[in-house]
Chain A
Amino acid sequence: MLGKLSWEAIPFDQPIPLFAASAVILIALGVLIYVGVKGWLPYLWREWITSVDHKRIGVMYTFLAMIMLLRGSVDAAMMRSQQAVAFHAPGYLPPDHYDQIFSAHGTIMIFFVGMPFVIGLANFVVPLQLGVRDVAFPTLNSVGFWLTATGALLVNLSLIFGEFARTGWLPFPPLSEATYSPGVGVDYYLWSLEISGLGTLVAGINLVTTILKVRAPGMTYMRMTIFCWTVLASNLLIIAAFPVLTATLAMLLLDRYLGFHFFTNEAGGNMMMFMNLIWVWGHPEVYILVLPAFGIYSEVVSTFSGKPLFGYRSMVVATMAICLISFMVWLHHFFTMGAGGDVNAIFGIASSIIAVPTGVKIYNWLFTMYGGRIRYATPMIWSVGFMITFAIGGLTGVLLAVPPADFVLHNSLFLVAHFHNVIIGAVVFGAFAGYTYWFPKAFGFKLHEGLGRLAAIFWIAGFYVTFIPLYIVGLMGMTRRMQHYDVADWRPWVLIAGIGGVLTAIGIGFQVAQLAVSIRRREQLRDDTGDPWDGRSLEWATPSPPPAFNFAVLPNVTGEEPYWGVKQRARERMALSEEPNYEAIEMPRNSPTGFVCAFFATLMGFALIWHIWWLVIAGAVGAYATFVVFAWRDRDEYLIPAETVARIDRANRQARREALNRLRRDQ
């Protein structure tokens, strides 16, 4: 009836997982009860859970990423503290548990923090920057989000029922085969990524179609913002890379569930094929995460320097060059496999070449700042912190791209420090820069500036104090994923890294405080005009938060930086443009399809992990029925009357007129 699931799945005998599981259950129940008592459930259902508005979905993606960031950070804190005490000692985490923690940390940070953060920001911003009212496929967008959430939920369910994978963030066979990992841990990993990977693919198709087919009149390719370009590149990579991940993990599933021999030791299986396939996805994945972050820095640096981006065209070329080359370097993840000198040389050179377009980008940002009137608001602090940090990460990357050096450094903490250097230094800082930059657009008030700066400074300092020591112990020979060690020379560096973890935790604390304080003081932090940073691209032409239809009238784009042009004309003439002719607007209706479909996907995933076959079938039938019900609906759009559009737009025009009058008085 319940497959492999029994009371033994719940870790009653292990205090730490039991505590974690209870905490997760209590927090989840507490939030649910609070929301229920406050009577917010109908509102949440109507306005958020069933929403197909790209802005709401973007916010939910970002929220998911931030919640999961807390979970992933707790894992990181446990690893740092374990290594701090496990010198000549077993520490407090048994190896069995420690292995699950580093596997969960990597899985969560890449798939459920990095991915939803960049996809969330892209979802929120891209249609606004393109000057349109929605993405290409609004309901599919909701399905994509909820499937991602399903993956995150399954990973966290492993805290309560059973265990998580002990095989690292990529489950290398033969360790991940049923012979060596007979438990449900690897199955949790595989099914949650199969399901959320489908969600990511859907998001990728949606965003690429949006950028290529749904743009405002006059918005030619060379007038799009760099953020739109980088999101396009990133989502092209999703479309080309995620199907490979799906296929690879499916093969491992077949090995585990049905006794196939893709990657096994016996009957002709080839485990190195897993390495090739997984990294054919895995290396583009790095750029899927980092390219949108580059886009965010481009927006932020240009806005806060008060200048158009330097070298726009070279930035476009660099972005697309990275997009292409990122598919030609995967083998550098396993130079030590022994593919031979020639193969290693080719992939080493290709890997080094990526540094060229990336270098172009760094110089473009620097030249954008040069001669600009720079305002060091929080997003700009993240950006400058990124430029310095990422330059170091890039240099160690080029070092690792040299095969002989890689033979020495492979799987050492030097490697761990390198990829944290680029992922924290570029993706995480970029996500936070974007979060601070677009928060007022999403909610109508800015985030508290002082706490934001403190958070940025502690994060940046925390990064250096954690990972520079790891570079050093890596060079001294310490390998990754050590549950305990007994080399005295490593000890001081490991302890310093632990202190760095504390600094980062303080940074996270400031971020939580920033959000709480900002919500409390939202009236003082209010953004009336919709253009709090003196922005240059079209999202700042809308009110904050933008109405469901984004633009009362689709903007007619006549040049680069369209909003800046309009704003300059208004400032010169001290008058807004003519009031447009308002017309009724058709918008897609909300739909519970995404949520219901994800509900069945969760059931199916859980049932597959625990071999509850009747529930698998029930879930599949339910998911199919959901789509049929959706396909049968007769009205998929609703009309916003012209008066409503006019009222909303006139209120915003009034606020902008007052801002213009303030400007006139100041002069």
Chain B
Amino acid sequence: MTHVAAAPAGRRDPYALGHGEGAAAGHGAGGPASKRIIVGYGFWIFLLSDIVMFSALFATYAVLVDRTAGGPSGKDLFDLGSAAAETGFLLASSFICGLASLAAAVRSKRWFYIAMAATCILGLGFLALEIDEFAKFIIEGNGPTRSAFLSAFFTLVGCHGLHVSGGILWLLTMIAQVFAKGFRADIMRRFLCFALFWHALDIIWVGLFTIVYLMGVYV
């Protein structure tokens, strides 16, 4: 494929709107878009498909939320303090992931590693709280096999948790890649995808926190 050479990051697109790289954004007349645009665009489509998958799980949760089969409901189970702490961890990790993007943009390996490590630790903190919550429910006999409501709860929240776990694996791989290869163009594209992925997990979590936890306790 012929690619219009991408402009070095930080030039020609001072406000980082992402529309300035290469001569063509691929809207038709200019020929194939740059690799950076193709990769980002394709990954956005993947994220949308992932969100569609979550929408199926959200819909399922909405259908089954009252099917407690005589067991506890969300009101009886959820600890909003813990969920709020999880939210804090995840949103903070996303903010710091943004700082890692900035570090990569100015090619600072040191700050990149520091920011990614902090992102990782906050992500692990989120996971620890979630696992703690799940373990507590299961020990109390309110595991996913207790009722349809709990099946839907564990699947929806657990699927997000699995995404975070996968994200952490990706994050560690990403650190190793930058360590071994530096900020090469293909590594930067991959890191762009990782950052998008990590932020998308926030979007889903905001939905989860609202629909599962807040509405579970207050509605």
Contacts and interface: CB of A to CB of B under 8 A. Distances in A.
* Most chain B C-beta atoms within 10 Å of own C-beta, residue among A213, A277, A585: A213
A258 interface: yes
Interface stretch (A10-18, A201-209, A503-511): A201-209
For chain A, the bracket of interface size reads 35 or more
Contacts, number: 146
A220 B24 CA distance: 12
Interface string B12-24: 0000000000000
B1 A133 contact: yes
A216 B31 contact: yes
Contacts of A137: 38, 42
A209 B148 contact: no
A205 B49 contact: yes
Given A215-B26, A247-B53, A631 B177 contact: yes
* Most chain A C-beta atoms within 10 Å of own C-beta, residue among B41, B60, B69, B144: B60
A260 B154 CA distance: 10
Nearest to B146: A267
Contacts of B38: 136-137, 209, 213-214
B186 A209 contact: no
Contact of A201 (B49, B69, B177): B49
A137 B38 CA distance: 9
Interface in B17-76: 26, 28-33, 37-38, 41-42, 45-46, 48-50, 52-53, 55-57, 59-60, 63-64, 67-69
B56 A261 contact: no
For chain B, the bracket of interface size reads 35 or more
A476 to B, nearest CB: 38
Interface string A229-261: 000000000011011101110110011001111
Contact of B45 (A208, A254, A268, A624): A208
* Most chain A C-beta atoms within 10 Å of own C-beta, residue among B50, B59, B148: B148
**Majority-rule SS of B interface residues:** helix
B173 interface: yes
A626 to B, nearest CB: 13
A554 B2 contact: yes
B152 interface: yes
B138 to A, nearest CB: 12
* Most chain B C-beta atoms within 10 Å of own C-beta, residue among A216, A268, A631: A268
Contacts of B147: 261, 267-268
Contacts of A280: 56
Contacts of B59: 277
B31 A268 contact: no
A243 B51 CA distance: 9
Given A136-B42, A636-B186, A243 B49 contact: yes
B142 to A, nearest CB: 12
A204 B57 CA distance: 21
Interface string A176-209: 0000000000000000000000000100111011
Given A212-B26, A221-B28, A261-B151, A273 B177 contact: no
Name the 8 nearest CB pairs between A and B, nearest first: A268-B67, A268-B148, A243-B53, A213-B26, A220-B28, A217-B31, A247-B56, A260-B151
Interface of A: 132-134, 136-137, 201, 204-206, 208-209, 212-221, 239-240, 242-244, 246-248, 250-251, 254-255, 258-262, 264, 266-270, 273, 277, 280, 554, 585-588, 624, 628, 631-632, 634, 636
30 contacts: A132-B1, A134-B1, A209-B45, A213-B33, A214-B1, A219-B28, A220-B29, A221-B28, A242-B49, A243-B49, A243-B50, A243-B53, A243-B56, A247-B53, A247-B56, A247-B57, A250-B155, A259-B144, A261-B69, A261-B147, A262-B148, A269-B67, A269-B148, A269-B151, A270-B63, A280-B56, A554-B32, A587-B1, A588-B1, A631-B177
